[in-house]
Amino acid sequence: MEITLREVPIREVYEGYINDGETEMGVTGYDDELCIRPRYQRNYVYKDNQRDEVIRTVKNGYPLSIFYWVDLGEDREDQDSPRFEVLDGQQRTISICDYIEGDFSVDGHFFESLPSDIRDKILDYKLLVYVCVGDDSEKLKWFETINIAGEPLTAQELRNAIYSGTWVSDAKKHFSKSNGAAVGLASDYMKGEANRQDYMETAIKWHMDVTGDDTIEEYMSARKNYHNAQELWSYFRSAIEWAEATFPKYRSQMKGLPWGLYYNAHHERTDLDPQVLEERISELMADPDVTNKKGIYEYVLTDNEKALSIRAFDDRTKREKYEEQKGICPYCKEHFEFNEMHGDHIIPWSKGGKTVPDNCQMVCIECNLKKSNN
Ligand SMILES: [Zn+2]
């Protein structure tokens, strides 16, 4: 791992500057050697006053905080692509270059209208840049430990920077645009923001469950130079389509559930009838003893009652039963202190017993364990 500090004059960064925001072709500079903002990356827009402050700082020769660039290396896959990528300082770099380009004025002055010595002062201003070279996992570790001021990156944004390549570029086309295909298909089912890479991260986590990769880093590293991310995209589509087909009636509780994991475990089953499932779901939604409504979907697939967080008996009911039973466990007939006993459903919830006083008995911990294991 190697980190070097460089001083890069703005004049050099501005050389060959292209900001083709309209077509999302990305932003490049430094004589085509620096990718300032990759295609499809979120366009994090500065407010005018933040932008103007950067220009004033440069004009006055005051220090800007350090910029971070990733060195993609001489042996990068695509030799025509820029060698460096801005990891931190995108907006500051774009503000400065757009100003020189004449896109806006600050304090009444466009760049062109400044005296030539001031223009030179701006162009000669040196950015302090940390350039980091190393293998992918080293870079990732390093970026995770630095606290990038101003624009903290999500874990998946960092991974995309580290494992950038043809796979990531294609995956972003599907998963990372706010009006992109993944959002169009799955926004009812997904939490988070596509342009902060939450969709891509979730899709990878689900797919890893099938591919056997242990970590997202391992998954991305193995696919870094794939020409496309069709494998992940097809998988994701199948998972969402399965969820839609299996549970055709949409409810807000379905948003953010691990649909891919449900799909992995259940999509080959032939016993799932959407109509029967819907009847059970509807009943469980109305059951006051089911306190975790989101867990209903897992429950109807797996019968795991824990997912429902069945309501427990309240303290008052338990105290009353304890007094009635005089502290005697109905199974072992021994006496116990109140806190050595559990409030137990006489008829289990799964057999139709409700969480109501008539269905409560106090049972010692040991007998309770035996009972629930039967
Ligand atoms: Zn007992």
**Residue-wise pLDDT tens digits, 256-286:** 999 999 999 999 999 999 999 999 999 999 9
Distance of CA 200 to the CA centre of its chain: 7
Helix 198-211 to helix 230-246 angle (10° resolution) is 90
How far away, in angstroms, is 328 Cα from ligand 1 center? 8
How far away, in angstroms, is 335 Cα from ligand 1 center? 8
**Token couple for 99:** 């100003």
pTM (2 decimals)?
A: 0.65
Sequence-ordered alpha helix ranges (H) in the chain: 10-14, 48-59, 90-101, 116-124, 136-145, 155-162, 166-175, 181-186, 198-211, 216-223, 230-246, 259-266, 274-286, 296-302, 315-325, 365-373
How far away, in angstroms, is 152 Cα from ligand 1 center? 55
Predicted pLDDT of residue 142 = 66
CATH topology of domain 315-372: DNA Binding (I), subunit A (1.10.30)
- Half-sphere exposure for 109 (CA within 13 Å, toward CB): 14
Predicted pLDDT of residue 23 = 52
Helix (H), strand (E) counts: the chain = 16, 9
**Token couple for 134:** 């190393």
SS3 call for 124: helix
How far away, in angstroms, is 345 Cα from ligand 1 center? 14
| DSSP for residue 63 | P
How far away, in angstroms, is 360 Cα from ligand 1 center? 15
Predicted pLDDT of residue 146 = 57
pLDDT tens digits, 83-121: 998 877 888 999 999 999 999 999 999 999 999 999 999
Domain boundaries, the chain: 2-153, 205-308, 315-372
How far away, in angstroms, is 334 Cα from ligand 1 center? 6
Spatial contact of 54 and 8, defined as CB atoms under 8 Å apart = no
Distance of CA 207 to the CA centre of its chain: 15
How far away, in angstroms, is 116 Cα from ligand 1 center? 92
How far away, in angstroms, is 309 Cα from ligand 1 center? 24
CA distance 264 to 274: 17
CA distance 63 to 34: 22
How far away, in angstroms, is 289 Cα from ligand 1 center? 25
pLDDT along the chain (374 residues), means of 10: 85 91 73 82 73 94 86 79 85 94 94 94 93 75 57 78 88 93 97 93 97 93 94 98 98 97 97 97 96 97 94 96 97 96 94 95 93 69
Ion ligand 1 residue ranges (Cβ < 5 Å): 329, 331-332, 364, 367
What is the radius of gyration, based on Cα positions, of the chain?
A: 29
How far away, in angstroms, is 291 Cα from ligand 1 center? 28
How far away, in angstroms, is 363 Cα from ligand 1 center? 6
CA distance 292 to 306: 9
How far away, in angstroms, is 314 Cα from ligand 1 center? 20
Sequence-ordered alpha helix ranges (H) in 41-187: 48-59, 90-101, 116-124, 136-145, 155-162, 166-175, 181-186
